[in-house]
Amino acid sequence: MRVLLVNMPWSPIDLPSLALGILKRSVDEHVEGATCEVMHANLEFTDWMTNRLEFTAEDYDYYALSSYFLGCGDWVFSSALYDDPEWRESEFVEAMTSKLRRSRMRMTRELHRLVPEFVAEVARRVVALEPDVVGFTSTFQQNTAALAAARQIKRLAPHIVTVMGGANCDAEQGAAVHRNFPFVDYVVRGEGEVAFPRLLTALRDGAPAATASIPGLCHRTQESGHIVNPMPTGPLPPTAILAPDYSGYFERLAASVARNWVEPKLVVEGARGCWWGEKHHCTFCGLNGSFMEFRSKSPDTFFREIMDLAERHQVLDMYVVDNILDMRYLSTVLPRIIDSGYDLRMHIEIKANMRRPQLQVLADAGLIYVQPGIESLNSRVLDLMDKGVSGCQNVRMLRDAAETGLSVSWNYLHGFPGETAEDYEPVVRQLPALEHLNPPVDLSARIAIERFSPYFKRPELGFTGLRPEEHYLFTYDLPEAELHDLAYVFQAPERGITEPTVTLLNDAIAAWKKHHADARLTHTDLGDRIVLVSRRPSFAWRTMQLTDPLETALFRLLDQPHTVSALLRKLRAGADTDAGARCTPQDLEALLSEWVAQGVVFTDAGQYVHLAPAAVNQDLLRLDYMRHAHTRSESTASTEAGAEPAPALS
């Protein structure tokens, strides 16, 4: 049995497909007599398109990631899915003219006209390889490209079995794919490491009846055109999560024009699910689909996988796909990475309440790009999200990351039911004080309603009458009821703050991004005094010395968020009892107010925390220093041309 796994656009070109890497290994290890190969059609597309258009890495990233909530990448391939180079072009133009720059609109329409030819070529190449089974993974904006290729393959060679899986095929989404696109023979819903080999074994043995017992599988019989097996009753245990086999990706990248665009990264996986989400599912988050249960590989297994992949592929950049760090790894896996001597550079998602010593372990191990899910700097809004952190804790994360050399990737979100302008205005006033810390990736974005999120599943939280996002309507030729099952993102009435407040917030974030490269605030604790140095446009002072024992004691306490009452209690119990004894609540509040006005301290929800990382040569620690400076000049040009809207990434 010959199995071919296909990674269609818009899968990122700097990463091998983790899903297909795992499936390749599962086939090789568990399906006797089967051979499995991966076609990197995303790289094929890059080479094909650059021979026809002035198509760049920035263009690919736009359709792969930046335009996800606009659906541009999926609409591009709808022309191939429906054999019409002008498929619903007028509807697209009408809906998107106000959202896209003219140059981006031209590029999108041109791609839309060209991709049917590309898909036809891919289908011919697949058929020429004579596979018995072709499998497609579909995540983010891969759906129409995968469907279009499956349709063309089935047209050329009806005997080839077509299978789809991936995040776009979870639960009811996968059932909708199978129900509406008969050229897809099977859909694997949920985790595929066990289900896909079982399907292949049944096909190899000529035992179609065996497919009825594969959890989550969608299949057909002569009597019925569409059968949906119940989803698995639980997630795979961590011992069943295989390491990926990335054979062929790096060789194919080396032969592609994309080799000049990107630094390739390895994709590694230590855990699935979310230990925070098991107890407190963030209201807007649709990640993890059917199974939120957190499970992680043993420290020995995960460490060995990281080392084996680095040694085999001679690549040190790694993207850890875990939705949240297993805290055990701080004392098990990461110290072993530090001792290994490998200069790894890794990206990982963490929780924003991690303390500085923990962040230092991440930095020392090479996990220098972190995504802590900050989303807001206001405690009340964070409570509406059920994030389990405060605004001051999020600011502390940004400060401590600057001190330990971590680059923080985060998004500012708004639009939560129950939020008010009063939640945002105090934060907006204080944003100039934060300009030395990592700003959000983009301007604040209104939340998207994602399938599987509490906002989607529980209308009592504030969103009712949900409809599929507009782009699904002109991408697919399906009634809205079917789109409702197929879609991941949904339209809903706007909640929370209105445009005047959004404008104030985004103006302040834009200034933050503009000033960040040159802004600085640090402190040096010399024992008898603390010296602060500032270089931020909104504050005239450049150096400040704290010599009064009360002030130095207070500043040290503000390393962590505190209320006034907690500060007063600790000051009075501190080493310098005289300083604490003479401090009244009124004196303390006056001093804190002064420090807030000077941009030394941030306050939210009755808590205070200082903003000054220890002076450890922040300019050298800013790993993206030059990128920020470059982006600043580009963003000015983009603004003049009419900037594209920011996606509401969660």
* DSSP character at residue 169: G
pLDDT (tens digit per residue) in 71-105: 999 999 999 999 999 999 999 999 999 999 999 99
pLDDT of residue 374: 97
Residue 584: other Cβ atoms inside 10 A: 10
Instruction: Report yes or no: 138 and 162 within 8 Å, Cβ to Cβ.
Output: no
Q: Is 130 exposed, middle or buried (0-12, 13-18, 19+ CB in 10 A)?
A: exposed
Residues 149-188: pLDDT tens digits?
Answer: 999 999 999 999 999 999 999 999 999 999 999 999 999 9
What region does 372 belong to: left with phi over 0, alpha with psi -120 to 50, or beta? Answer: alpha
Model confidence band, residue 575 (pLDDT cutoffs 50, 70, 90): low
The pLDDT, as a whole number, for residue 364 is: 96
User: pLDDT-derived band of residue 620, with 50, 70 and 90 as boundaries?
Assistant: low
Strands (E), 341-497: 345-349, 369-371, 407-408, 413-414, 445-446, 449-450, 467-468, 489-491
pLDDT, tens digit, 9 for 90 and up, residues 206-252: 998 899 999 999 999 888 889 999 999 999 999 999 999 999 999 99
- Taking each helix axis from N to C terminus, what angle separates 585-597 and 549-557, rounded to the nearest 10 degrees? 70
- pLDDT for residue 41 is more than 50: yes
SS3 389: coil
Task: Say which amino acid occupies 281.
Answer: H
- Give dist(CA 395, CA 316) in Å, integer: 30
Give me the percent of the chain exceeding a pLDDT of 90: 90
Which tokens go with 313?
Answer: 């592929």
**What does the DSSP assignment read for 508-553?**
HHHHHHHHGGG-EEEEEE-SS-EEEEEE-TT----EEEE-SHHHHH
- Residue 627: predicted pLDDT: 41
What are the tens digits of pLDDT across the range 264-321? 999 999 999 999 999 999 999 998 888 899 999 999 999 999 999 999 999 999 999 9
Give the tokens for residue 163: 């299978």
Cα(322)–Cα(19) distance, rounded to whole angstroms?
Answer: 13
For residues 447-462, give the mean pLDDT: 96
DSSP-assigned beta bridge partners for residue 610: 601
- DSSP annotation string for 18-87: HHHHHHHHHHHHHSTT-EEEEE-HHHHHHHHHHTTS---HHHHHIIIIITGGGTHHHHHHHHHHTT-TTT
Question: What CA–CA distance (Å, rounded) separates 456 from 434?
Answer: 34
pLDDT tens, position by position, 512-537: 999 999 999 999 999 999 999 999 99
Q: Give the per-residue SS3 of 574-601.
A: CCCHHHHHCCCHHHHHHHHHHHHHCCCE
For 301-459, list the strands marked E by DSSP.
317-320, 345-349, 369-371, 407-408, 413-414, 445-446, 449-450
Q: Average the pLDDT over 379-389 and give the result.
A: 97
Alpha carbon distance 196, 189 (integer Å): 10
Q: What is the pLDDT of residue 576?
A: 65
pLDDT at 306: 97
339-349 pLDDT per residue, tens: 999 999 999 99
Cα-to-chain-centroid distance, residue 633: 25
What confidence score (pLDDT) does residue 123 get? 98
d(CA 528, CA 553) in angstroms, rounded, equals 10
Amino acid 574: pLDDT? 80
pLDDT at 643 over 90: no
pLDDT tens digits for range 98-149: 999 999 999 999 999 999 999 999 999 999 999 999 999 999 999 999 999 9
Which residue shows structure tokens 């399938």? 451
Who wins on pLDDT, 637 or 308?
Answer: 308
- Pairing type for strands 345-349 and 317-320 reads parallel
In what order do the strands lie in the sheet containing 489-491? 449-450, 489-491, 467-468
- State the DSSP H helix or E strand holding residue 58, giving kind and residue range, or none if neither: helix 57-61
Q: What is the pTM of this model?
A: 0.92
- pLDDT at residue number 619: 56
Residue indicated by tokens 């080392």? 307
Contact 246, 21 (CB under 8 A): yes
Residue 491 contacts by C-beta under 8 Å, 6 or more apart in sequence? 449, 466, 467, 468, 469, 470
Mean residue pLDDT of the chain comes to: 93
Q: For residue 516, which amino acid is it? A: H
pLDDT at 568 over 90: yes
pLDDT > 70 in the chain, percent: 94
Distance of alpha carbon 243 from alpha carbon 16, whole angstroms: 13
